[in-house]
Amino acid sequence: MLEKAITKASIVKMILSGQPVVPSEKAVTVFAPTNIALAKYWGKRDTDLHLPMNSSVSLSLKDYGCTTTLSICEGDCDRVILNGEALPAEHPFVEKASAFFDLFRTKAHYYFKLETNSNIPIAAGLASSACGFAAVVKALAALFQWNLSLRELSILARLGSGSASRSLYDGFSIWHKGRREDGMDSFAESLEVDWPEFQIGLCLLNKAEKKISSREGMQRTVETSVLYQVWPDKAEQDAEAIKRAILKKDFQTVGELAENNALTMHATMLAAKPPVCYWEPETLAILDKVWALRKEGVPVYATMDAGPNVKLLHLKKDADVVAALL
Ligand code: PMV
């Protein structure tokens, strides 16, 4: 079998060429916010490099995310402490982190100690892996004092988890799908818009880990859902239209497009074989309430990711009404 010429390792090597290979700091602590997609990423054109079929747009939540401390580990393996608990080496989270660190080990073959505290539930469709990998990349850059652009850091974070490419930024960002085989044009950038009135409320229905990982759910949808034929084009148009509406601060248009984009993504998943369904009965109950509230004239919209929890898009002035709904 022919070996793939462009790999995660070759991309990292290219980006880090000329950068320091010895850590400058003993330990660094960084924060990366979680992000909620308003125009969703669902499906990869390259499953290894996490290159998406379509561009996506998100808003980072400034108070929710991962605070991560990274240092060089004295032992002979990586150590991971998640929310105060030291995880065993065979824990899937440690395996995932170690595989990611493998990309960045220099000739001296350092091991890392990763302590991460997340104030959102892990793997419950709240983009915990997005802020997790973005924080690791930010921490590595600070530890080794790499002089890289946000664009390059976004590409490195993408290699951990696609949506992590957007968690490098506060506020709104767009992740360009890119066209290149090596993915060097597939990175996120800030939309540079100051819109504090736009808010997202988290409606936590279930903190349990999702039954189907987003990686598996995406792949199954791409391969078996007849509706996936329309998704990439529609999603690309949505991302562009949502970006334009954000830049104009047109809340109604952003809300309408974002809710429709999320519902279309879930419909596309439901048509997969076997179906990919992240919803619980409570998900639909909340949607009903959102739609009823809208009929009463309150501009509130919903979006859902790879989990049953609902995120409510609303304006600051309606925060009390929306809180009452929750
Ligand atoms: O980056 P991943 O593999 O966690 O996938 C994220 C997928 C969604 O949250 C459903 C959509 C998105 O764009 O964040």
Best of 133, 163, 309 for a ligand 1 pocket test (most atoms within 8 Å of beta carbon): 163
Q: Which residue has the higher pLDDT, 110 or 103?
A: 103
What confidence tier does 56 reach under pLDDT thresholds 50, 70, 90? very high
**Is 125 a residue whose pLDDT tops 60?**
no
Over residues 99-114, mean pLDDT: 88
Token readout for 121 is 């539930």
pLDDT at residue 76 in the model: 87
DSSP string over 183-237: -TT--EEE-----TTEEEEEE-S--SPPSS-HHHHHHHHHHH-GGGGTHHHHHHH
- CB 32: neighbour CB atoms within 10 A? 28
Q: In angstroms, what is the span from residue 113 Cα to ligand 1's centroid?
A: 26
pLDDT at residue 273 in the model: 98
Closest-lying ligand 1 atom to the alpha carbon of residue 162? 1
Token readout for 220 is 């199954």
What single DSSP character describes residue 26?
A: S
The C-alpha angle 304, 213, 173, rounded to 5 degrees, equals 50
CA atoms lying within 13 Å on the CB side of residue 167? 35
Backbone φ/ψ region at 237: left (φ over 0), alpha (ψ -120 to 50), beta: alpha
Q: In angstroms, what is the span from residue 294 Cα to ligand 1's centroid?
A: 27
What confidence tier does 211 reach under pLDDT thresholds 50, 70, 90? confident
Q: In angstroms, what is the span from residue 2 Cα to ligand 1's centroid?
A: 30
Amino acid of residue 130: A
Q: Three-state SS for 51?
A: strand
Token readout for 264 is 């279309």
Structural contact between residues 269 and 276, judged by C-beta atoms closer than 8 angstroms = yes
Backbone φ/ψ region at 83: left (φ over 0), alpha (ψ -120 to 50), beta: left
**Is 65 a residue whose pLDDT tops 90?**
yes
CA distance 178 to 187: 8
272-286, pLDDT tens digit by residue? Answer: 999 999 999 999 999
**Is 315 a residue whose pLDDT tops 90?**
yes
Cis amide linkage into residue 121, ω under 30° from 0? no
**Is 271 a residue whose pLDDT tops 80?**
yes
Q: Whose CA is nearest to atom 10 of ligand 1?
A: 305
The set of protein residues with a Cβ atom below 6 angstroms from ligand 1 is 37, 40-42, 56, 127, 129-130, 161-163, 214-215, 305-306
Best of 36, 41, 120 for a ligand 1 pocket test (most atoms within 8 Å of beta carbon): 41
**Is 106 a residue whose pLDDT tops 80?**
no
Q: Whose CA is nearest to atom 8 of ligand 1?
A: 305
Q: Provide the percentage of residues in the chain whose pLDDT is more than 70.
A: 95
Best of 38, 40, 268 for a ligand 1 pocket test (most atoms within 8 Å of beta carbon): 40
pLDDT at residue 93 in the model: 87
Most confident of 23-27, 84-88, 107-111, 219-223: 219-223
Q: In angstroms, what is the span from residue 20 Cα to ligand 1's centroid?
A: 32
Q: In angstroms, what is the span from residue 321 Cα to ligand 1's centroid?
A: 28
Closest-lying ligand 1 atom to the alpha carbon of residue 125? 9
71-105, pLDDT tens digit by residue? Answer: 998 888 999 999 999 999 998 889 999 999 999 98
Query: What average pLDDT is seen over the chain?
Result: 93
pLDDT at residue 281 in the model: 94
Structural contact between residues 267 and 260, judged by C-beta atoms closer than 8 angstroms = no
Over residues 157-169, mean pLDDT: 97
pLDDT at residue 25 in the model: 86
Token readout for 184 is 């060097």
301-314, pLDDT tens digit by residue? Answer: 999 999 999 999 99
Q: Three-state SS for 157?
A: helix
Over residues 129-136, mean pLDDT: 94
Beta-ladder partners of 56: 175
pLDDT at residue 110 in the model: 86
CA distance 189 to 80: 29
